[in-house]
């Protein structure tokens, strides 16, 4: 088993994986998996068996009872310089300051087409505070959910990658801002909030042929705090660059949709998210993109379990904050 894990780390990104990282990963117990052999060669883009895919990711979901309850959120009274982060579920967050409310990749859907939401959103849309800004990392349906965006209270500013704005014109935005990587948008005289669009290793097409759409993450700066939402990403050297250029303090990082192995071309597992967190030089890691929709073949509860194990092994229990959906956490 150990040899397997070692190979896994080595294969991830030949040029950039340090031997020390591979060694560290080999010490970790591999999570238990029940993966059919036939999935070994799956890739997100080509030659997967549609029937197996349908059975494992769609059909099984229909027979899995939806769990989790939305809570009536108790939003904390914040002081200047404090930020409250509420995980709504999947990649969706509410970020609150004394004078600014930001939603990132909001998705309250119970269904994404045929795909059932297995865990309910942590709060109801009607319990949201007024929203000033919505940040959208890319056009994939689990992140850019039109029905949710349409139902959000107006007016709100939408910030999204270049090539995505055409999807937003009828969704009630007062302004739609498209950004290229490393471009920033700031409101007011620069003393107010600022958001910078950052690279990721993923892809942006919403359907088969719209390859022009951008994708990435955001660093939000306000009241001296810097929060980074990575969007969807594989592990890549860009985390180190984002850390160096923007120095985020709180990193919201995806930890799900990493199995089979080929999915790691576009997503990270908890092991890589911890490495990304260290590359970023951030103070806190808040995991996301797990437990809500079955997008891949690891069990839905495996990513946080594995992350907890790594946190214990690496003495990172103070830095890794696993949030409950719908419960604001003040940083």
- The binding site for Zn ion (CB under 5 A) comprises 140, 142, 232
**Residue with smaller CB distance to Zn ion, 232 or 249:** 232
**Residue with smaller CB distance to Zn ion, 12 or 229:** 229
**Residue with smaller CB distance to Zn ion, 142 or 302:** 142
Q: Which residue has the tokens 């089979």?
A: 260
**Residue with smaller CB distance to Zn ion, 116 or 140:** 140
- Pairing outcome for strands 133-135 and 100-104: parallel
Shortest CB 330 distance to Zn ion, Å: 27
**CA pair distance 103, 36, nearest whole angstrom:** 38
The SS3 call for residue 193 is coil
The SS3 call for residue 19 is helix
Residue 229 contacts residue 4 (beta carbons within 8 Å): no
Q: Which residue has the tokens 């801002």?
A: 177
**Residue with smaller CB distance to Zn ion, 225 or 265:** 265
**Residue with smaller CB distance to Zn ion, 73 or 217:** 217
Shortest CB 189 distance to Zn ion, Å: 35
**CA pair distance 293, 62, nearest whole angstrom:** 11
Helix 302-313 to helix 270-280 angle (10° resolution) is 50
**CA pair distance 162, 178, nearest whole angstrom:** 5
Residue 119 contacts residue 292 (beta carbons within 8 Å): yes
Shortest CB 289 distance to Zn ion, Å: 6
Shortest CB 259 distance to Zn ion, Å: 15
**CA pair distance 31, 33, nearest whole angstrom:** 6
Shortest CB 323 distance to Zn ion, Å: 17
**Residue with smaller CB distance to Zn ion, 221 or 232:** 232
223: left (phi > 0), else alpha (psi -120 to 50), else beta?
A: left
CA-to-CA dists, residue 331 to 3, 44, 88, 95, 260, angstroms: 40, 36, 17, 11, 35
Shortest CB 257 distance to Zn ion, Å: 7
Which residue from 323, 228, 331 is spatially nearest to 282, judged by alpha carbons?
A: 228
Shortest CB 105 distance to Zn ion, Å: 8
Shortest CB 203 distance to Zn ion, Å: 7
**Residue with smaller CB distance to Zn ion, 96 or 148:** 148
């Amino acid at each position: 088993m150990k040899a397997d894990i070692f190979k896994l780390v080595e294969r991830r990104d030949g040029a950039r994986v340090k031997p020390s990282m591979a060694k560290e990963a080999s010490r970790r117990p591999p999570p238990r998996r029940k993966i059919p052999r036939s999935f070994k060669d799956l890739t997100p883009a080509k030659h997967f068996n549609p029937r197996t895919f349908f059975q494992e990711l769609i059909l099984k979901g229909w027979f899995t009872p939806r769990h989790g309850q939305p809570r009536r959120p108790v939003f904390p009274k914040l002081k200047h310089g404090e930020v409250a982060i509420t995980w709504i579920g999947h990649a969706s967050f509410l970020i609150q300051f004394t004078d600014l409310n930001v939603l990132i990749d909001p998705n309250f859907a119970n269904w994404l087409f045929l795909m059932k939401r297995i865990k309910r959103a942590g709060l109801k849309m009607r319990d949201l505070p007024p929203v000033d800004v919505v940040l959208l990392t890319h056009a994939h349906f689990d992140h850019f959910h039109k029905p949710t965006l349409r139902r959000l209270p107006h007016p709100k500013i939408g910030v999204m990658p270049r090539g995505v704005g055409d999807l937003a014109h009828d969704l009630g935005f007062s302004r739609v801002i498209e950004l290229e990587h490393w471009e920033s948008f700031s409101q007011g005289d620069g003393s107010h909030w600022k958001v910078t669009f950052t690279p990721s290793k993923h892809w942006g097409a919403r359907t088969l042929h719209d390859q022009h759409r951008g994708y990435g993450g955001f660093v939000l700066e306000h009241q001296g705090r810097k929060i980074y939402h990575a969007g969807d990403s594989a592990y890549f050297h860009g985390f180190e660059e984002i850390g160096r250029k923007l120095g985020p303090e709180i990193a919201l990082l995806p930890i799900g949709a990493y199995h089979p192995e080929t999915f790691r071309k576009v997503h990270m597992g908890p092991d890589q998210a911890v490495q990304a967190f260290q590359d970023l030089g951030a103070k806190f890691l808040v995991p996301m993109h797990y437990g809500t929709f079955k997008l891949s073949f690891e069990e839905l509860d495996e990513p946080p379990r594995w992350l907890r194990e790594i946190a214990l092994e690496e003495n990172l229990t103070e830095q890794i904050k696993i949030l409950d959906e719908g419960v604001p956490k003040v940083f």
